[in-house]
Amino acid sequence: MEVKVRPLECWNDFKKYRERYYKNYLEAKDKGGIRWAGSAWAFDAIPHGLGEDVYPLTGEPYGATCAFFHDFSRQCLETIERRGVARDLCGYMRNYWGSIAQNKYLLPDGTTVEPFPKPDFNFTIHICCTHAKWYHYAAELEGGVPTYAVDISVGPGYLLDDKRINYVVKQLNDAISWMEKITGREYDDELLIKAVYAEADSMSTWARICKLNQAKPAPLEEKSMFSLYVLNLINRSDPEVAKLYHKLYDEVESRVKRGIGALTYEQFRFLTDNPPPWAFLKVYRYLEKEYGAVSLGAIYTFGLAGGWLGMDEKGEKWIWEPAPTPEEAGVEITNREEALRWTAEYNLRYRASWQHEYSHWIRKLETYQMIKDWNADAIIMHINRGCELWNLSTLEVRDYLVKNNIPVATYEGNMADPRDFDEARTFNVIDSFMQSMGIERISEK
């Protein structure tokens, strides 16, 4: 299918925001501001209440940026391995630790500056085996940075009850008192409330954008989506981020109406799974150029940054519909307690990527439903040695999909360690898979 294509008009807005974000963190102290570091999954609305000059650095996107710049990544990985850190641990984390150990900070254009900007505090969550311990050791590497991790061990959203939500809310309340104590600042509930609204807006809007990719031709391809979804991983509670996602939504909706696609030739639609090998995103371009294959997204790209309804109440079916914002749910947030409860419940219930950590059955249904809803012909799964959390259930999911007649290809790699990727072999896997699917190379048509 020949397709009209056009560059995204808001591309530069996203790019500039990301550049500013890393620079703001670097320069926070020049302006008397506060720096904090933590997982992209941290309840990032909470530190917003400390003021309007509070700048985060989320670790996973930073680790991915390091991985994109192979040489810097290798230096980080080798530096931290020399300190006795195991090579099979989270790739993002090793890049992050290695960056601290080298005392070098990487900017998104690939330049490095010294020293690595030390945060005033670390604030994160813990769901896999790594997150809280990542920041615990980072704090030690940096000479004892105050660190607080929130335990979110309460199971999948459809099984939530008040006691489970309250467990998280109580920790968030404690975290606020702790932040006040270590920063010496008075907490502003109005700023928190504003951030909580923005968070839901950013995440639910991203989900609506993802839904638009069900169209044929697909208006977006996943490699570009990586540059768009990331704002929800670095600062989703910033109202400016929510605005940018609204702008993007309008543009993508218009592309769908006008039949504008992501690829000039779309003959094969597939999904992916897991974070990609950031140092080898050329895999996506190879599929596009050689086979007219468009990657529509993944439970990673959609689920990590989006708010989705997820499992139905009976736990029998996954629903890929955007989660309601407070306005859509008819909820008015007027005080701290309501804000904390909303952000806890929204994340625990609707953050898709938190659901399947509690059952591979959830991930099977989630993946299967995505393949159906986005009209995908197949799935190409990255067996990712860099993240054990995202690899939870991948082989069981593969088995389930194959048994349900979904074509599956797998390749092994590492999202954040460029040494763990066999480029030639991966292209070989892709060629064999496409051949088995009867997809001809565009050049051979």
Partner 1 sequence: MGKKVEELPQLKQFREWFEKRHEYAKEWKRKNGGKVVGYYCTYCPEEILYAAGVLPVRILGSHEPESITRPYLHDMYCPFCHDTLAQGLQGRYDYLDGVTLAQSCLHMRQSYFSFVDRVPNIQWSYYMPFPHGVNNPHAAPYLRSELEKFKSAVEEWTGTTITNKELDGAIEVYNKNRQLMKEVFELRKSDNPPITGLHAMEMVVSSQIVDKKDHNEVLEALLEELKDAEVEREAGTRLILIGSEDDDRSFLELVEYGINYPATFVYEECCTGARYFWDEVRPNEDRLMALAERYVYRIPCPAKDWATGELIRRRFQHIERVIKDYNVQGAIITQMKFCDPHELDIPALRDLFDKHDVKHLTLELDITQPVGQFRTRVEAFLEALGEEDLFF
CA–CA separation, 216 and 219 (whole Å): 8
3-state secondary structure 91-138: HHHHHHHHHHHHCCEECCCCCEECCCCCCCEEEEEECCCCHHHHHHHH
User: Is 206 in contact with 232 (CB distance < 8 Å)?
Assistant: yes
Q: Which residue in 107, 392, 437, 442 binds partner 1 (CB under 8 A)? A: 392
Footprint of partner 1 on 324-353 (CB under 8 A):
none
Q: Which is nearer to partner 1, 262 or 397 (CB)?
A: 397
User: What does each C-alpha distance from 186 to 21, 71, 377 come to in angstroms?
Assistant: 24, 43, 54
Judged by CB under 8 A, the stretch of 105-113, 135-143, 248-256, 320-328 that binds partner 1 is 135-143
Instruction: Draw the binding track, 271-310, toward partner 1 (x: CB under 8 A; -: no contact).
Output: ----------------------------------------
Q: Which is nearer to partner 1, 7 or 84 (CB)?
A: 84
The nearest distance, CB 142 to partner 1, in angstroms, is: 11
- DSSP H or E segment with residue 38: strand 34-38
* Block residue for tokens 């996943």: 222
The nearest distance, CB 424 to partner 1, in angstroms, is: 20
The nearest distance, CB 132 to partner 1, in angstroms, is: 4
Of 297, 340, 49, nearest to 168 by C-alpha is: 340
Enter the tokens of residue 325. Answer: 């914002």
The nearest distance, CB 173 to partner 1, in angstroms, is: 10
In 360-422, alpha helices (H): 360-373, 394-403
The nearest distance, CB 219 to partner 1, in angstroms, is: 34
User: Is 213 in contact with 297 (CB distance < 8 Å)?
Assistant: yes
Q: Which residue in 151, 240, 250, 316 binds partner 1 (CB under 8 A)? A: 151
User: What does each C-alpha distance from 138 to 32, 67, 90, 339 come to in angstroms?
Assistant: 23, 18, 13, 30
Instruction: Draw the binding track, 397-426, toward partner 1 (x: CB under 8 A; -: no contact).
Output: --x---------------------------
Footprint of partner 1 on 164-223 (CB under 8 A):
164, 167, 170-171, 174, 178
Amino acid at the residue 294: V
Assess 380 for contact with partner 1 (CB under 8 A).
Answer: no
The nearest distance, CB 153 to partner 1, in angstroms, is: 4
The nearest distance, CB 211 to partner 1, in angstroms, is: 29
DSSP classification of residue 185: P
Q: Which residues bind partner 1 (CB under 8 A)?
A: 83-86, 88-90, 126-130, 132-137, 139-140, 144, 146-149, 151-155, 163-164, 167, 170-171, 174, 178, 357-361, 383, 385, 388-389, 391-396, 399
